[in-house]
Amino acid sequence: MEPAYRGKTKDVYDEGPYLVFHFKDSVLGADGREDTGGNEVIGERRGKGSAILKQTEFFFKLLEREGIKTHFVERMDERRARFLKTERIPLEIIYRFRAYGSFLRRYGRFVRPLEELNIVEFTLKDDALGDPPICEEAIEKLGIASGEEIALMKDLTRRVALILHEFFEEKGLGIIDFKVEFGRKDGELLVIDEVSGDTMRVMKDGRILKSEELLGVIG
């Protein structure tokens, strides 16, 4: 396998038609504080990579059972999994059930913490630029995705939101927000990258769970 790139939470290797993800023990945060919605590595915690991979496998299989196609193929061991290679669309699509995190930092004067939102946001996936928000017209104008793809990504994200909301509601938990990514494969859009405690915020009794704590939720 050839190294493809090294990320904050996983290293990616090229394996012909597949990508192999090696999940790290990296802990994410913002401004030095742990935050599952953060975009900085603030440390490591033993066993975290394995926990995130198990969650990713669980949630991708959950989405597949509900008719949403993903690029997940199989888990190889405690740290590695195989995924279909796709043409990655450089966007993160964020679904915000409630106002939290960067949304509050941007619009705090106009919104209350944890106010119900149920909105879809697009951000440009570019660490050097700070993953800035991007409007739908700009996405299309810059050739990142077509208008049809934008509409489909929004629709699929809303379907994922419903699936995750129902799953956590049955567990007595509340999901605050999550993000997904999409890739093109044989004329279709697939959910790619990962869906885990590192890509969502889940609340229990007024506290945001640490990413590994979702392992106890999925059983």
The pLDDT tens digits for 44-96 are 889 999 999 999 999 999 999 999 999 999 999 999 999 999 999 999 999 99
Give the predicted TM-score (pTM) of the model. 0.94
pLDDT (tens digit per residue) in 165-197: 999 999 999 999 999 999 999 999 999 999 999
The whole-angstrom separation of Cα 126 and Cα 36 is 18
Domain boundary pick from 35, 56, 84: 84
- The answer to whether residues 101 and 191 belong to one domain is yes
- The answer to whether residues 92 and 159 belong to one domain is yes
Domain boundary pick from 66, 84, 102: 84
- The answer to whether residues 75 and 100 belong to one domain is no
Print the SS3 string covering 125-162: CCHHHCCCECCHHHHHHCCCCCHHHHHHHHHHHHHHHH
Determine phi and psi for 86, rounding to 5 degrees: -130, 170
- Angstrom CA distances, 194 to 10, 79, 108, 109, 168, stand at 10, 13, 29, 33, 18
Domain count, the chain: 2
Domain boundary pick from 36, 57, 84: 84
Spell out the residues 6+ positions from residue 163 whose beta carbon is closer than 8 angstroms to its own: 62, 63, 66, 68
Q: Which domain holds residue 91?
A: 87-218
